[in-house]
């Protein structure tokens, strides 16, 4: 059946289309706080580490009990206009249990920053965290964060060659890989995406780095546009030589699709550490 999107805001609206969707992001605050305090008390959390000069150029670093086997960098979502790294700390649990350090950066939000500028900031955050932890680097990001981690492995990545060479795998959770449709959203008054930036900052319109590996993972209960965006990058980049996979996790929506990150044995974690 043919279908044309007439309400772009609704096509990308998550909370109002999920039962009790207004619980998020507040539902993450308390478990995130508890996890930060637990690891800080154990001497395994370094909070508010600077990677740049702007106020939000900070990342938290969570450490396993022994010497880290490598680094996971998680980049949060919020349509580039909201939230910070403090909402998601507890989702470091799965990777930390697997022996990895986990860095969670914040970044300067739109409209103070453009998406191109956020890409540069995340590049600096990944570089700084990689400078603190030896071994392979694995990237995972949610929603707008999925866009940002796949930008790190795009041909115009801001990462230096030494860090690019350490990226073992990338997972985009409910990622936004083609920014052109977002120009139609009312929230673009804050995101400020124009056609030029959409073409320059959309991973689906860029080539992957040589040897790129990415899993595009979404909840099967997400909005159709998020499912389409999820499949889009995996399909396009597979045709450009990247190793890709697209997954739709049953019984998950845009918010609880993150839950697998807290379980070291969950298929999501297995995909990240493949």
The mean of the pLDDT values for the chain is 96
Q: pLDDT tens for residues 154-166?
A: 999 999 999 999 9
- Looking at residue 6, what is its pLDDT? 83
- Judge whether residue 2 has pLDDT over 80: no
State the alpha helices, DSSP H only, in the chain: 8-11, 26-41, 93-97, 115-132, 144-152, 161-164, 188-191, 195-201, 224-238, 267-272
- Looking at residue 18, what is its pLDDT? 78
| Average of per-residue pLDDT across 227-250 | 98
End-to-end CA distance of the chain: 37
Q: pLDDT tens for residues 72-128?
A: 999 999 999 999 999 999 999 999 999 999 999 999 999 999 999 999 999 999 999
- Looking at residue 81, what is its pLDDT? 97
Residue among 269, 262, 273 at smallest CA distance from 28: 262
Name residues whose C-beta falls within 8 Å of residue 113's C-beta, 6 or more positions apart in sequence. 80, 107, 121
Q: pLDDT tens for residues 187-226?
A: 999 999 999 999 999 999 999 999 999 999 999 999 999 9
Confidence of residue 24 (pLDDT cuts 50, 70, 90): confident
- Judge whether residue 236 has pLDDT over 90: yes
Confidence of residue 19 (pLDDT cuts 50, 70, 90): confident
The domain limits of the chain are 8-272
| CATH numeric code, 8-272 | 3.40.50.1820
Q: pLDDT tens for residues 170-188?
A: 999 999 999 999 999 999 9
Provide the percentage of residues in the chain whose pLDDT is more than 90.
91
């Amino acid at each position: 059946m043919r279908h044309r999107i007439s309400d772009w805001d609704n096509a990308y609206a998550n909370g109002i289309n999920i039962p009790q969707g207004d619980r998020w992001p507040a539902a993450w605050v308390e478990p995130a706080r508890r996890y930060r305090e637990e690891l800080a008390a154990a001497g395994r959390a370094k909070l508010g580490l600077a990677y740049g000069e702007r106020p939000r150029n900070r990342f938290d670093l969570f450490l396993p009990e022994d010497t880290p086997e490598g680094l996971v960098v998680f980049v949060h979502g919020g349509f580039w206009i909201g939230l910070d790294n403090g909402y998601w700390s507890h989702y470091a649990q799965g990777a930390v249990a697997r022996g990895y350090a986990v860095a969670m950066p914040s970044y300067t939000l739109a409209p103070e920053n453009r998406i191109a500028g956020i890409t540069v900031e995340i590049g600096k955050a990944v570089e700084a965290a990689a400078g603190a932890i030896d071994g392979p680097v694995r990237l995972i990001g949610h929603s707008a964060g999925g866009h940002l981690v796949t930008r790190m492995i795009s041909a115009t990545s801001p990462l230096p060659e030494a860090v690019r060479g350490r990226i073992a795998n990338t997972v985009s959770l409910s990622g936004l890989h083609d920014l052109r449709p977002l120009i139609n959203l009312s929230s673009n008054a804050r995101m400020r995406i124009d056609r030029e930036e959409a073409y320059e900052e959309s991973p689906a319109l860029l080539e992957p780095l040589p040897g790129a590996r990415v899993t595009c993972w979404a909840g099967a209960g997400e909005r159709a546009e998020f499912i389409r965006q999820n499949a889009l990058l995996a399909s396009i980049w597979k045709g450009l030589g990247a190793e890709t996979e697209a997954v739709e996790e049953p019984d998950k929506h845009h918010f609880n699709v993150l839950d697998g990150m807290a379980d070291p044995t969950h298929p999501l974690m297995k995909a990240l550490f493949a």
